[in-house]
Structures are given as structure tokens and as C-alpha cells.
A and B are shown apart, each in its own frame.
Chain A
Amino acid sequence: MPDTTSTKKPAPNVSEHPMMDEVIRCEKLTKLYPAGNILAVDQLNMTVHHGEIFGLLGPNGAGKTTTVGMLTTLVVPTSGKAIVGGIDVVAHPSLVKQVIGVVSQTNNLDRSLTVWENLYYHGLFFGMKSREARAAADKLLVEFRLTERAKAEVMAISGGMAKRLQVARALLHSPSVLFLDEPTAGLDPQSRLALWEILRKLHAEGQTILLTTHYMEEADSICDRLAIMDHGHILAVNTPKGLKESVGADSIVTISAAGNLDALAALLKEKIEGATKSQRVDNVIQLHIKGASGVLPKVVSIAEQAGFNITDLSVAEPTLETVFINLTGKELRD
């Protein structure tokens, strides 16, 4: 909502419970790490609705993990406000912990306990009776296909299993919102797909999820809405489709060539019909096209007439990568 409605009463035209379906709300949330004077997150405003999978997409160092840290009480904000599950994170951290489930990027399972015990004791931490915790642990082991390894030490199970166990543990106390920080980083492709399946299933059951990722495919295929982050700021928030449409092009032509690429980019923008944008990104040119077909032969002939030797040429629909380049002028992948 716009910052201009600076009144204490809700505006009359909003519904009776304007915050009804907000599970997370940040206002000007800021984290300045005193060591090194690093502004990791800068005046972040963000809202996550009940039942959605919300993604924070950005490169390493964008401030995603710090944001999750602040929302999960492990990072103390320098300023600003965050409400999670209806509770002020800074004022009532112990209460917030009742309503969140957290899957951290590293394997932080309790190495002194077995697979099953990791779940069981987590249940006890959250006030379950022994019998309840036992039943919940058994049930989640079945759901997450870990029953066979119930008695294994957590260091003895595979990375994919460990991540599933972390997710199971975070869900054991039925949190209002599940946080996952780079959930598939370091997982093999099969485990990644398995985890996506789990997240889709949870989504279908109505679980609110906030995840961070620097994988575009993950953001694109899993998330209902995405915030694109860089240098502690959110640059855009929309559905993956909306973000891609915001590029304003149906197709993106990528051209590799020898010579002055900036000059070629300008030339193509001028000569190609439907070219909305033409820019050099590192060693290639990206040409945005809208409402035109048969572009590739034209690109080749224009380039050759101007004396450029094209070494590679491809055309694709806009991706989140395109969106990121559009917003930041650099590639998401480093």
C-alpha cells in the first residue's frame, strides 16, 4: 500500500480486515552489519499473503538470507518493522518462533541425535506431549520417505535426505509460514525435483512458504510471486509471468559477434522492426523484439552488411534472467 496514506485510521475504501491475509509484512526493514559497515538490507517493504509461495530471487549477497534471518528472529533488524503471523518480530521474538518453521541453507540437523530423534525432540521443544511428538515424527518420516533411516545418525544420510529431514522438522509444529533459505543449493538434480514436488504438495495444502533462491528455474516453476533482490533492495515484485511480461518483448535474440558490440547493438535497434531494446551484456548482444517475426535472417544480413561476423545466434522467450538483466544491467549467474 502506498506510503502516502499517512493516517492512523485505515482508509475507508479498504476492506474491513485489510491485513487479513497477510502472513508477512515488512516496513522499511533494514540491516546494517556494524562489522565492515555493510548495509545488507535497505528499507525493505514486502508483503506475503496466506497460502502463497513467495520467492526472493537474487544473486549471492543480495540480502536474501539476511531478510529471512530478520523474519526468523536470528538477525536483529537495525531499523524498520516486520510482522510475521500477526506478531511483531522484534518485540516478541519468542512468540514468533511458535508460528515459523525454518529450513536453513546449511545442514543444521542435531548431529548428536538420530533422524527420528531430530523430529521427536523438535516436537517436545514446541510443547508437544511425548505421545504427540512420537506420532508426529512417525507420520512425517513416512511422508518424507525417511522411515527406513529412522535410526540412522544424521551424518550418515545423503544430502537430499538431510534436506527433506530439515523440511520435515520445520513443519512438525505446523507453522503459519515455512521459510526455506536456498533449499536446493548443493542438491543433485533428482533431489531438487523431489524437493520441488514436496513444496508443490505443501502449497496445495495451503502452506504459506517463503523461499530464497538464485536459481531462475526454481523461482519460475515454484513461486506464485517473486521479489527480485539486489544490493539489499527489492527491484520488482510480481508473478513470474508478470515479471517476464514486464520486459515488453515476445522474444529475445542473443547475438555473439566479433567487433564493436555496442555499435552493432545500436545498429540493430535502429534497423530491426519491432526492436524495443538492444543492449550489450558482457560479450553478447541482447535484442528485445515485440510483434515481429522472421527476425533472425534480418539480423544476419544487417550485421554482415555492416562488416560484423556473427559467431552465434539464438532466440528465446524472455526469462527471469532477462528480467534481472533488464533491472540491473548484469547477469544473475556469476
Chain B
Amino acid sequence: MNMITDTQTAEHFKKLRPAMAASRAAFGALLLRDLTVLRKGLGIFIARTLVQPFLLVFVFLYVFPQIGQGIGGGGGANGESSFATVLVAGVVALSIMFQGIQAVALPLANEFGYTKEIEDRVLAPLPVSMVAIGKVAAGAIQGLIAALIVFPIAAVIHAKGVHPNLTVNWVILLTLIPLTCVMTSALGLFLGTRIAPRNIGLMFGFIVLPITFLGGTYYPWTALAAVKIGGFSWLQALVCINPLIYVTEGFRAALTTAPHMQLYVIYPVLVGLCALFLWVGIKGFYNRVLS
């Protein structure tokens, strides 16, 4: 066999750009492409960001108090106010979560589908893993925007006499939001690459819905200690497998003075989930685009 070289010798070969520079440029361009698509669909993006938190806040904090269907242990306006406090953190957390999953998993289902339109981006001159990370970065940016849109609504809309007690801890808030945005987008990458494109609709029923209802949106995790079988707080233990619980509890810590899960649990778990979802997500991405 002749020895074949893996260096370029002949003069008609195209001059290569250094791998790092080419990758950086391509990564930036992929991000720009995703943001362009976001800008084109900005109206829908905002609507889809608003509809869920709006409904939650409207029903629980506006309608319920007025029809006398109070929620909250204390009863009356006090109980409603404390529920409002619980819900604000939950709504912000939920919105970021939804955004992360929707912004990454749903487009991927299209792009992996029959036409494989992801191919042109996979053929851009950067490592395939960077294409996947670019998807997560774009999703995280969308989550960030969603957080900015939702927070005011959650804090402002409520019936007369119902006041969420918000005390913002900026250090927690400003570290938690980016961490959450990346974690949920990485979760979106994981789901989008592991669920067959034609089954992506099932994701909402079987994954997103349980995550939502068992994610501490409507109640603080600490309160779940009261749900017991034979002295064991089983539900409090069970929901620990739900990534959302760490996010809602984190926002509870960031926005209220109410009891919450310990921060020394929340941060390491969120960082760990980021790493885990990125790892399995990137592996899943490889499996989808390469054969």
C-alpha cells in the first residue's frame, strides 16, 4: 500500500483556516442563525412565553380570591398572599423550564426529521459537539428573555388585597437565572435527541406535565414533608428526581423569605444536572446526525 499523507501538499488545494478560528466563527454564525429565526417569530415567542404564566396567575391569584375559592393554608387574604408568594417563584421557574425545552427540543425534532435540515449546520466547519452546544446556547438565551418577560407579570397581576411578599436576593437571582437557562436548554437537547421526532408530541404529556405538577410550582418543597406514609415523607423524597424542584426552590430562595430547600443542595444539583444533560444530549446529538 502506498503511504498516504494527511497534510496538504498540492497547490490547488484550498487554503485552510485554523480549526479554532473556523470553529469560533461558525459557532457565532450558528447562534446568529438561531436568533434570526427567533426574531422572525418574536410575536409567537412572546405569546407562548406569556400564555401559561398569565393563565396561572390569572386563575390562582385573580379569579380564585374573587370567587372565594381560596387557596393557601392560612385562608383569607393572608393565605392568598402567601400562596401568591409561592406561585411567583414557581411561575418564573416554570416559564424558563418550558422555554428551554420548547426552544431546543421542538426545533430539533423538525431538523432531525425526514429532510435532515440540520445537515447543513452539521457540515459547518466546527466539531459536531459545538453544533449541539450552540443549540443549548440559543435555547438559554430564549430562556433568559422569557424570565425577563414573565417576572413582572407574576409580580404584578393579582386581585385586590392579595400581595406576594417579594424580597429579592440579587446574588442568588443573577446566578440562578443563567444556570437554570443552561440546565433547561440542556434538558431540551437531551429530550430532543433521545425522543424520536415523530413522538415529540408525547413529550408534553409524559414528561413536561409531570415535571410541571410535581416540580414545586404550586407549593414549596419544604411543605411536602407533611405528605407521609408511615412517617416517611415519600412525596418530598420522590420529587427530588424532578429537575424543576431545584429551580423553583432556587427562585423561592431568590425572591422570598419563605422556607426553601438548602442552597448548598440546589447549586451543586443544578450544576450536576447541567453537566449530565449536556453530556447525554451531545451524545444523543452525535447519534442522530452521524451514522
A residues at B contact (CB < 8 Å)? 1, 3, 5-6, 8, 10, 17-22, 25, 27, 33, 50, 69, 72-76, 81, 83, 85-88, 91-95, 97-100, 102, 104, 106-113, 117, 121-122, 124-127, 169, 174-176
When chains A and B are docked, how far (Å) is the Cα of A21 from the Cα of B33?
Answer: 37
Report the minimum CB–CB distance from B254 to chain A (whole Å).
34
Chain A residues within an 8 Å CB radius of B269: none
Q: Within the complex, which residue of B30, B107, B125 is in contact with A127, where a contact is CB–CB below 8 Å? A: B125
Contact with A along B1-20 (1 / 0, CB 8 A): 11111111110111011010
Report the minimum CB–CB distance from A74 to chain B (whole Å).
6
| B119 and A107 within 8 A (CB) | no
B271 within 8 A of A: no
**How many residues of B are in contact with the other chain, CB < 8 A?**
49
When chains A and B are docked, how far (Å) is the Cα of A206 from the Cα of B21?
Answer: 28
Chain A residues within an 8 Å CB radius of B63: none
When chains A and B are docked, how far (Å) is the Cα of A40 from the Cα of B5?
Answer: 26
In terms of DSSP, what is the predominant structure of the interface of chain A? loop
Q: Within the complex, which residue of B6, B120, B128 is in contact with A169, where a contact is CB–CB below 8 Å? A: B120
Report the minimum CB–CB distance from A218 to chain B (whole Å).
23
B126 within 8 A of A: yes
| A102 and B291 within 8 A (CB) | no
When chains A and B are docked, how far (Å) is the Cα of A106 from the Cα of B6?
Answer: 31
Residue of B nearest to A123 (CB): B29
B residues at A contact (CB < 8 Å)? 1-10, 12-14, 16-17, 19, 21-23, 25-26, 28-30, 32-33, 36-37, 40, 107, 110, 114-128, 289-291
In terms of DSSP, what is the predominant structure of the interface of chain B? loop
| B6 and A33 within 8 A (CB) | no
Residue of A nearest to B114 (CB): A106
| A176 and B125 within 8 A (CB) | no
When chains A and B are docked, how far (Å) is the Cα of A33 from the Cα of B291?
Answer: 8
24 residue pairs A–B, Cβ–Cβ below 8 Å:
A5-B2, A10-B2, A17-B9, A19-B5, A20-B9, A20-B10, A73-B290, A74-B119, A74-B122, A74-B291, A75-B291, A85-B14, A92-B6, A94-B19, A94-B23, A97-B123, A97-B125, A97-B126, A124-B33, A125-B26, A125-B29, A126-B22, A126-B26, A127-B17
